[in-house]
A and B are shown apart, each in its own frame.
Chain A
Amino acid sequence: MYETNTHTTDKKPFKYQLLIDQLLAAGCHLPVLSLPDDINACRFAFAEEGLPNHIPQYVSNPKRMLQDIGKNSATTSLLALSCFTTSERAEAFYANLRKAFKHVACSIGDSLAEGILTNDDGMMTTPSANGHFDFYECEGCDLNKTFHITRKIA
């Protein structure tokens, strides 16, 4: 059972619950989370088949999580997936990143993937002014099945 900013609900464990528990034990905190209620969302992704999409940073590199814990700089945010509320906001953010980091496509993706986040999929943070929010997947969630690449942005 998780406390959210809107209500208390019985929910499935998070997809990476063990790792989240490890971070909580190390003194990290989960942010205030709420249910997505079928929100339309988009993420950066790789268009090329075979490249991994929708995997949090600490899951793709578990060593980094241990090292960040050691340096007291770990964050649960890196067990979540970065999303945006609209494609316009996502593209605006990407354009700014690309101005500063010309190879950003090889790090976070070259395309925009869009889909619907249901309450069964997980929980989200409050979107910031630029439309960005973190999405914490619940057990069984797989955005590879529900998010689809809509266009190339790099």
Chain B
Amino acid sequence: MKKIEGYNIDYDFSGFRKIADLVFFDGPFLSHYVSSKGDDYLFYWVDRNEQDNRWLVLRVSLASLQKYIGKELTLRELIEHPNDGYLYVVDIDNSLVYHDIKLVQPCALPDDYLPENDSYYEFEPIPAEDAEELMTYELTIPYKERNHFEEILRKIGFPVSALKKVVNRAAVF
């Protein structure tokens, strides 16, 4: 497999849980995972040799993922523009041990590790067995209405703390 320029790091992927295989043929090629912090990640298979499979791992927004599934974005656009500006290159051996983890900028990837320009989604997702427990549903609430919305949720007994991440994200904007 090709040598990739990047920063060697240790990163623990053990808290990641699979939401769905987006492309599966005799095994996963593209999978949607959620981290223990609730962030969405794509695992994108790029290469293999006798010992290892090489994957690119990148953080994506749910909105861009939905656009990809809805054929409004290509896979190439997702890979070239990860949320963090960088992605991980990970080699996983036959015993599922992750090693040689590198932080890489998309521009450092060889062209054969990138999908074609017209790589629109032409497959069927396969949800993981326990995906429903992990999936989130996003609502956009006008910021000035947030207190009113939280009040309604309290009245019906919904744990407002479960919305923390969304409220924080809204606050950023």
Contact = CB atoms under 8 A, between A and B. Distances in A.
Interface of A: 56-57, 61, 63-64, 67, 72-73, 78, 82, 93, 96-104, 106-108, 128
7 nearest interchain CB pairs? A96-B122, A99-B116, A102-B112, A100-B115, A99-B119, A100-B119, A103-B47
B116 A100 contact: yes
Given A64-B96, A106-B48, A100 B23 contact: yes
Interface string B19-52: 0000101110110000000000000011110000
A7 to B, nearest CB: 29
A80 to B, nearest CB: 9
Given A100-B75, A100-B116, A102-B112, 15 more contacts: A61-B94, A63-B95, A63-B96, A64-B96, A72-B130, A73-B18, A82-B26, A99-B119, A102-B46, A102-B114, A102-B116, A103-B46, A106-B47, A107-B29, A107-B48
B94 A97 contact: no
A73 B33 CA distance: 14
Given A100-B116, A100-B119, A108 B26 contact: yes
Contacts of B123: 96
Contacts of B98: none
A133 to B, nearest CB: 13
B128 interface: yes
Contacts of B132: none
26 contacts: A56-B26, A57-B26, A61-B94, A63-B95, A63-B96, A64-B94, A73-B129, A82-B25, A93-B25, A96-B122, A97-B25, A99-B115, A99-B118, A101-B23, A101-B45, A101-B115, A102-B46, A102-B112, A102-B113, A104-B29, A106-B47, A106-B48, A107-B27, A107-B45, A108-B25, A128-B124
Contacts, number: 62
A153 B26 CA distance: 18
A107 B94 CA distance: 14
A2 to B, nearest CB: 23
Contacts of B122: 96
A103 B112 CA distance: 7
Interface in B36-72: 45-48
A56 B27 CA distance: 10
A106 B2 CA distance: 14
A40 B5 CA distance: 47
A73 B131 CA distance: 11
Given A96-B122, A100-B119, A107-B48, A72 B26 contact: no
